[in-house]
Amino acid sequence: DGGITQSPKYLFRKEGQNVTLSCEQNLNHDAMYWYRQDPGQGLRLIYYSQIVNDFQKGDIAEGYSVSREKKESFPLTVTSAQKNPTAFYLCASSIGTKYEQYFGPGTRLTVT
């Protein structure tokens, strides 16, 4: 079964801790993305990667970091510098940036 997996579904952290969200795809897609979703604000792009070992900042990259060491994996680290980290995080992939994106089930991060 091809698709995108994100784990865990729910994640709880204390303020001041870094946390890494997992995203894996077995669709053989070159491009991968991370979005943040807050109520009433649609999707906001955090980072994206078009190829292994390369990635670009999206609209709200501050306080986040990513790596792309393997084609199938694109983990997102939410650092303690992110002021409002509590949100729903979505990972996606596509064969190219202008084509349809396929989304994972999301990770809901709560920081207290």
Task: Note whether 106 binds other proteins by CB under 8 A.
Answer: yes
Q: Which amino acid is located at 33 in the chain? A: Y
Task: Note whether 15 binds other proteins by CB under 8 A.
Answer: no
Q: How many other CB atoms sit within 10 Å of the CB of residue 21?
A: 23
**Measuring CA to CA, which residue among 94, 92, 96 is closest to residue 105?**
92
Site string for other proteins, 83-102 (x = CB under 8 A): -----x-x-x-x-xxxxxxx
The token duo for 25 is 């795809």
Question: Which residues bind to other proteins, rule: CB under 8 A?
Answer: 4, 6, 40-43, 45, 48, 88, 90, 92, 94, 96-106, 108
